[in-house]
A and B are shown apart, each in its own frame.
Chain A
Amino acid sequence: MTAAQVRRRFRFVKTDDASENRMTPVGYLMTNFGQKWREPVIKRLNELVALQSGWDGYDGIAVTFENAYFAVGILDACCRGDDPTPQIVPGASGDLQIEWHLEKGDIELHIVAPNDVHAWHVDVNTGFEGEGMLLTNDFTAVVRWIKNLTEPTRATVPAAS
């Protein structure tokens, strides 16, 4: 798929770009094509920005365009092309959560607003309760977490004597 094709598939377009002055999340350089996760993520985000008011049985609103854009920015910054597709779930206030649940652990990124992300992960190093942190525009920790969960476990090779 070409970058132009990818851009055409990125449909939740908003004309007044409220995120213009925000900083781009820091992580991998954006490649903008070839990511296996991109198409299902865009499809899911398009569903979530179109949720009806009250979708949660209370006063829930749809995921905001700003949060959806920021979510894609985080994924562009953090994920390699063959990284697993995350699951995305909506919050009641226009927020959303990006989640990976893998054999080696879990990662959850709660996007409250652009540049306001509560990140949490659990793996063999964190213990059962996991570890949480607040992130704004630097997602290098998430890059590391994803790498830890997706890379094959390497057997320890004793040094040659």
Chain B
Amino acid sequence: MPLSPPPRDAHGKVMPHDHQGIGSADGIIRRISEQWIITEPDGRKRLSSIAFNPSSGPHGGMSVDLQAQIEEAGLNCREFLSTTSPQCAGSIRFEAGALRRASLQVGFDPLLSNAHHGEVWGNFTDSMKKRTLPGLATWFVEIEGVAISVRPRPLS
């Protein structure tokens, strides 16, 4: 079922909200640019915490794609991602319920260029960006040899 229109402010911008039409088990996909890959001192590669940062601006959230809406439109989600952003090498997947349990809101923010675009809003603390969100994500389209999370290492 198509999602109901999101709440908008006086300027027409989508306001932070938690959309009731997005189910707890729904996949929330975040496209991943190779620009966000960094190298650990042991040579292993992982995503920078900036991959989990919201956009700036009055209602800035973390841009995502809504998997259930893409599939309900009869599209293959992986193909949709690769055709609409061939520059992005990979993508990661969250479950909406897991994001909500982390006190984040999962909303609908359709764009002219992407009718299945969503946003994740909330308090993006250091801990959220560096531990919680990477810990909740799994690869949807994997970038080989790149970890999502920080691997704890002994600090001397």
Contact = CB atoms under 8 A, between A and B. Distances in A.
B31 A122 contact: no
A97 B48 contact: yes
Interface string B94-130: 0000000000000000010010010000000011001
A129 B131 CA distance: 8
Contacts of B81: 57
B41 A91 contact: no
B70 interface: no
B33 interface: yes
B56 A123 contact: no
Given A93-B57, A108-B49, A102 B41 contact: yes
Contacts of A120: 126, 130
B155 A93 contact: no
Contacts of B33: 55-57, 60
Contacts of B127: 129
A2 interface: no
Contacts of A97: 48-50
Nearest to B49: A108
A130 B87 contact: no
B155 A123 contact: yes
A130 B125 CA distance: 12
Nearest to A131: B126
B129 to A, nearest CB: 9
A90 B32 CA distance: 12
A101 interface: yes
Interface residues of B, number: 33
A141 to B, nearest CB: 15
A31 interface: no
A101 to B, nearest CB: 5
Interface in A91-113: 91-93, 95-97, 99, 101-105, 108, 110, 112
Given A55-B33, A57-B85, A123-B155, A101 B38 contact: yes
Contacts of B53: 91-92, 95, 110
Contacts of B38: 87, 89, 99, 101
Given A123-B155, A124-B156, A99 B48 contact: yes
Nearest to B34: A55
Q: Which 10 A-B pairs have the closest CB atoms?
A: A57-B31, A57-B85, A58-B63, A57-B88, A93-B56, A89-B48, A124-B155, A97-B50, A132-B126, A87-B38
28 contacts: A54-B87, A55-B35, A55-B87, A56-B31, A56-B63, A56-B88, A57-B31, A57-B85, A58-B31, A58-B114, A58-B117, A89-B36, A91-B50, A91-B53, A92-B55, A93-B57, A93-B60, A96-B50, A97-B50, A99-B38, A101-B38, A101-B41, A103-B156, A105-B155, A120-B126, A124-B156, A128-B152, A130-B126
